């Protein structure tokens, strides 16, 4: 006669243990399948882009969208490490918009971002890039742009677990600006830092020469009255940590340096005004708002041997690079 103990153990295994093991196996398999599906979705992440020139919303693969953005925003002749830094900044911009209601912005018409460079990132189509640079550029430098994006695939900048607002500009003039000096928000990762390697920038220093009459009339059209004694009526009162004009007395008013930049159409808010007999000379340093990453500074750092992560962590304080997919 068979041992009753083994019979009972066999029945217990069949009734209790085996169903549990099968359930666990199915559960794990479902999780694996779900993860595969999720990863598959992320690997082919598509975004909605509002084409402002054609007034329509288009669905684009994020990485393919970034090829055109990087090619439009930064010279393809730049060092590969600078292009990689630009690619991560551009990708971070998209994720920031995705996480902060970019599709709710009226100008986007339901899309996450738009192609208007005054509102979002610069985006030129393949045909526009060919027209701007020629077929030789497409053959030699377009692959370089694509490689910079591909080599950083899925990587974004985060601060305390959240994707940052990755502002960037052409040239800082030697030092970047704190965000609150230019925009309303004070952000901990957008702090003023030195940008010493911008010597190659064609707009590192610029000189605008305006006749005294034109100078006076430009301000007059903005309800600012300047007397004939321009030298006496212009006085810089304060500067930002980055060196830009913060406040300036112009005639009968005290205004911001960035207002003067707008009125006179200057390259930046970091300027000096010199008055001669018949003309007003305005010497500006840098090009753009000056907050975040200097593109020419990034290229200068890359040419000095810095890698893309070192460049990004220099211009964006306290950030980490996170791989989203």
pLDDT tens for 108-128 read 999 999 999 888 999 999 999
- Tell me, yes or no, whether 210 and 167 share the same domain: no
**Quick one: pLDDT at residue 8?**
61
Domain count, the chain: 2
In a domain, 116, yes or no: yes
Is residue 5 assigned to a domain?
no
- Is residue 28, in this structure, part of any structural domain at all? no
Q: Is the pLDDT of residue 106 over 50?
A: yes
Q: Is the pLDDT of residue 257 over 90?
A: yes
Q: Per DSSP, what are the bridge partners of residue 159?
A: 162
Same domain, 172 and 98: yes
Q: Residue count of the chain, please give it.
A: 325
* Residue keyed to tokens 């030092």: 175
* Mean pLDDT, rounded, for 244-261: 96
CB 291 within 8 A of CB 185: no
- Label the pairing between strands 162-163 and 168-169: unpaired
Domain limits for position 170? 46-182+291-323
pTM of the model as a whole: 0.85
Q: Which residues are 282's β-sheet partners?
A: 208, 273
Residue 234 falls within a domain, yes or no?
A: yes
Say what the pLDDT of residue 17 is: 60
Q: Where are the beta strands (DSSP E) in 212-278?
A: 234-239, 245-250, 253-256, 271-275
Residues 95 and 142 in one domain: yes
Whether residue 139 is predicted with pLDDT greater than 50 in this model: the reply is: yes
In a domain, 173, yes or no: yes
Does 135 share its domain with 277?
no
User: Do 172 and 230 sit in the same domain of this protein?
Assistant: no
Residue 117 is predicted with a pLDDT of 87
Give the pLDDT confidence score for residue 224 in this predicted structure. Answer: 95
Quick one: 158 and 61 in the same domain?
yes
* pLDDT on residue 34: 34
Q: How sure is the predictor about 19, in pLDDT bands with cuts at 50, 70 and 90?
A: low
For residues 162 and 270, membership in a common domain is answered with no
Give domain status of residue 37, yes or no. Answer: no
* Beta carbons within 8 Å of 146's beta carbon, 6+ residues apart: 67
């Amino acid at each position: 006669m068979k041992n009753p103990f083994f019979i009972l153990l066999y029945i217990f295994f069949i009734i209790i243990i085996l169903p549990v093991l099968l359930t666990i196996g199915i559960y794990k398999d479902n999780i694996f399948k779900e993860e595969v599906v999720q990863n598959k979705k992320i690997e082919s992440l598509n975004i909605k882009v509002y084409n402002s020139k054609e007034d329509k919303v288009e669905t684009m693969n994020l990485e393919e969208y970034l090829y055109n953005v990087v090619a439009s925003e930064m010279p393809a002749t730049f060092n590969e490490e600078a292009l990689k830094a630009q690619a991560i900044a551009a990708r971070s911009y998209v994720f920031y918009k995705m996480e902060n209601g970019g599709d709710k912005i009226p100008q986007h018409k339901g899309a996450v971002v738009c192609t208007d460079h005054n509102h979002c990132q610069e985006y030129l189509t393949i045909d526009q890039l060919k027209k701007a640079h020629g077929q030789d550029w497409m053959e030699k430098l377009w692959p370089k742009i694509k490689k910079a994006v591909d080599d950083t695939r899925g990587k974004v900048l985060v601060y305390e677990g959240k994707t940052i607002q990755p502002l960037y500009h052409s040239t800082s003039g030697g030092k970047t600006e704190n965000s609150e000096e230019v925009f309303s928000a004070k952000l901990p990762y957008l702090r003023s830092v030195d940008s010493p390697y911008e010597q190659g920038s064609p707009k590192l220093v610029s000189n605008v020469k305006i006749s005294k009459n034109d100078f006076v009339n430009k301000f007059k059209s903005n309800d600012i009255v300047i007397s004939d004694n321009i030298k006496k009526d212009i006085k810089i009162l304060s500067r930002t940590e980055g060196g830009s004009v913060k406040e300036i007395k112009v005639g009968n008013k005290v205004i911001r340096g960035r207002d003067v930049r707008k009125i006179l159409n200057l390259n930046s808010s970091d300027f000096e005004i010199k008055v001669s007999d018949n003309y007003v000379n305005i010497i500006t340093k840098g090009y753009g708002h000056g907050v975040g990453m200097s593109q020419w500074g990034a290229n200068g750092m890359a040419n000095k041997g810095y890698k893309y992560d070192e460049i990004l962590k220099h211009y964006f304080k306290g950030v980490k690079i996170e791989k989203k997919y």
